[in-house]
Copies of this chain bind each other. A is one copy, B any other.
Amino acid sequence: MSAPDLGRRALLKGGLLGGAGAFTLAGAVASSGAASEGSAPGTSSTGTADLVVPFHGEHQAGITTPPPPHAVFVGMDLDDGVGTTELGRLMRVWTDDISRLTAGVAPVTDQEPEVAARPAGLTVTVGWGPGLFDRLGLDDRRPSWLAPLPPMPVDDLDEAYGGTDLLLQLCSHSPVPLAHARRLLVGAARGIATPRWVQPGFRDPGEQAGLAFRNEFGQVDGTVQPDVADRDADLLWIGPASASHPGWVGGSSLVLRRIRMDMEDWERADRVAREHAVGRDLATGAPLTGGEESTPVDLHAVLPSGLPVVDRHAHVRRASPHAPHERFLRRPYSYEQVGTDGTVETGLLFAAFQADPVRQFLPVQRRLAEGDLLNIWTVPVGSAVYAVLPGCAEGDWLGRALLV
């Protein structure tokens, strides 16, 4: 085990994890050691406080990891004058901090080790945005597809939630280690990068096991997903053939869209109108053409009148792939932005991971923007695209192959 810049505690923890079982794509293991220190007053753990999701591996965690109830996306821009040297320094520091925090071990600069000791399945996923390549002159290492999405007719984008040079996606079963890790990682970037936006999201803790969840419209969302653990793996991960640079193999991409939902107007729509717009039964998530949540929708089914059962503009039809490659891993969260005037903006942090967003995501997005009935009640207000770095082995650091 060679990990020159990890301390003794981290190595011990690493060894413990290494011995606990083989790395699984979506696996999380409970580290009995992680919460043994300073856990008062949390002796009444619900069982998630000690969860550890392995950090090291071919891919970063937080992508195929089942989404826990809390997430926060942090978009950061490089400070003026920062070059590849400083970016490399930041990536080394972040790699060290993330490997510790996710293992339940306090980084050296961390003054709240008791909070760090309860990671609750913390994952941190790092991405690079288009601006980073422009700013640092790294065009030869830029993925061909890495650019903002073209403007969509439904968009009402606010640059306050636009694409940034760097992205951190943090997820956990508890908002406490999430806040702690966010502060520590943002603090570690001081002088190199500054947050432009922070977008927290949530899911129902009762829905941890799968990717599907009930969004704020009450709609079961995220049912149809590619089989990324097996036959659809090439839809998620950048492979040697498509990588613009070998340093991207094992990476992915993230499209993050902030979609505001008009809850007041949605309340005026009755169940029939809602199910017509979605194309699914709201109670069970089953398609209107019958069956259960996992039953494929029959887009050819017609009513006795000859009209389609699923409307031409129903969400489920517009979102259906026209070709096998038009699929991607969706890992969305709900959000609530509380104003200082008693108002609350409600919406969805739509997060999609795929090997190539232009080839896989964009055609679907175009169909939705053109004629999804849900557009009546939704407006995209933020949009960003990132290249997600491959994972790294112990002793290595995120992005090294792209910077040295």
- Residues of A in contact with B (beta carbons under 8 Å apart): 37-38, 40-42, 44-46, 48-49, 69, 75-76, 111-115, 118, 120, 160, 173-176, 179, 182-183, 187, 194-200, 202-210, 212-214, 216, 218, 220, 223, 263, 267, 270-271, 274, 282-285, 292-293, 334, 336-344, 346
Contact = CB atoms under 8 A, between A and B. Distances in A.
B218 A204 contact: no
A342 B283 contact: no
A203 to B, nearest CB: 8
Contacts of A182: 344
Contacts of A200: 336, 338
A337 to B, nearest CB: 7
Contacts of A199: 338
A202 B220 contact: no
The 8 A-B residue pairs with the shortest CB-CB distance, nearest first, are: A44-B209, A195-B342, A49-B206, A112-B218, A38-B283, A176-B204, A41-B212, A175-B202
B41 A120 contact: no
A176 B40 contact: no
A284 B336 CA distance: 34
A267 B186 CA distance: 13
Contacts of A205: 46, 48-49, 120, 173-174, 205
A41 B214 contact: yes
A263 B199 CA distance: 19
A342 B40 contact: no
